Structure 1
Amino acid sequence: MGRVFEGRYIADPQAQQVTVFLIGMRANRWWKIGKTLRTASRMAPMLNYLMQHPESGLLGFHNWGGRTTLLLSYWKSPEHLRRFAADKDAPHLAAWREFMGGIGSGDVGIWHETYSVEAGRMEAVYGDMPKFGLAKAVGHQKITPSTRTAKQRMGLHPIAQGRA
């Protein structure tokens, strides 16, 4: 996972807007392993494509497996995410159409949630951790006396203080 940064860190307070995208699947009928594996296998090509095309707007991601999976990803904007989802030359659209063609069987479920967070409206703290989450996506800084509390960190950006 990487080097552990000892002490307390925050995600870069100068980070601009970020779009948080959560997506996953659930093996509703785990004994139908073929359908589950086929659905799960569609994610790796998408992530490989996004890593090879930084202009797509993906900033970083983490994923977890199990009966219900979770992929946490950070994007430059909702527009970048939508553009990737609709791009006929990217691997998402074909996988989405394939899944939608089989929806209704109940064998495998998929889900996603999207959050667009304005600059100054996010706060992330890491103690004795490798770069992770938002800090891995946008960079991090050691906590200072002026960033010691959540109230201070949330007030670092003029938008958070109502002074756009």
Structure 2
Amino acid sequence: MSINHERLHAEREGDFVVFLVGMRINRLRAVHRWLPVFLSAPRMIREQEREPVGLLESRSMLVSPREFQFVQYWESFAALRDYAREGGEHRSMWSRFNGELADGAVGIWHETYLVREGEYETVYRNMPPTGLGAAPGTDQVPAAGQRETAGGRLGVTDGSDAPVAADGGDRR
């Protein structure tokens, strides 16, 4: 992946969804209980890549030796909900987790955030496209002018409120 050295901001038309989902291994020795849940996550991503129904981008993170998380960007809550409820890998694992795997050896969690157009801000520097900036249909534009600061990118300032100058000096 090519690294973009300039300061960039991701801009996207329309609303989108940020979905955080993770698992925690509660009993390390119960591998037969948590391993199926752990292995289902990459299968769900591959399923989405083969037949996309709204997943724009997904990033995985190892939080600790016991915790694994994904940050996902979805085109809409309806697309996320439809994927979760339809047949396929997620529906199958959801049933297993609530049935035979519900003994507490592994925990799962998720949080869903509905993001309105223009009510988010991003900045990337010395990074390849990542997160929202890597999602299809998202443009990466220079974080300059009004987009110079978080407040400017959110439209609450004119972008002249940066405490640090481009050369690293203090603006105050």
TM-score by length of 2: 0.83
Aligned partners of 1:35, 1:130: CA distance in 2, in Å?
37
Q: Which structure has the bigger radius of gyration?
A: 2
Which residue of the partner structure matches residue 57 of structure 2?
A: 60
Match of 1:132 among 130, 133, 138: 130
- Please, which runs of 5 or more residues in structure 1 have no aligned partner? 157-164
After TM superposition, list the pairs within 5 Å mapping 1:60-139 onto structure 2. 60-65=57-62, 66-88=65-87, 90-137=88-135, 138-139=138-139
Aligned partners of 2:75, 2:118: CA distance in 1, in Å?
15
Aligned partners of 1:15, 1:31: CA distance in 2, in Å?
47
Aligned partners of 1:45, 1:92: CA distance in 2, in Å?
9
AA matched with 1:126? Y
Q: Give, in angstroms, the shift of residue 103 of structure 1.
A: 4.9
Query: Deviation per CA, 1:10-50, whole angstroms, max 9, x where unpaired?
Result: 112x4321100011100001121222211111112211111
| 1:43 counterpart = 2:45 | no
TM-score by length of 1: 0.86
Structure with the largest fraction of helix: 1
Q: Which runs of 4+ in 1 moved over 6 A?
A: none
Identity of aligned residues (%): 33
SS in structure 1 of the partner of residue 14 of structure 2 = coil
Q: Give, in angstroms, the shift of residue 104 of structure 1.
A: 4.1
Number of residue equivalences? 152
Aligned partners of 1:129, 1:122: CA distance in 2, in Å?
19
AA matched with 2:155? G
Query: Deviation per CA, 1:98-147, whole angstroms, max 9, x where unpaired?
Result: 11103541110011110001001110111111111111112311222231
- Please, which runs of 5 or more residues in structure 2 have no aligned partner? 157-172
SS in structure 2 of the partner of residue 63 of structure 1 = strand
Which residue of the partner structure matches residue 164 of structure 2?
A: none
Aligned partners of 2:33, 2:80: CA distance in 1, in Å?
26
Aligned partners of 2:15, 2:31: CA distance in 1, in Å?
39
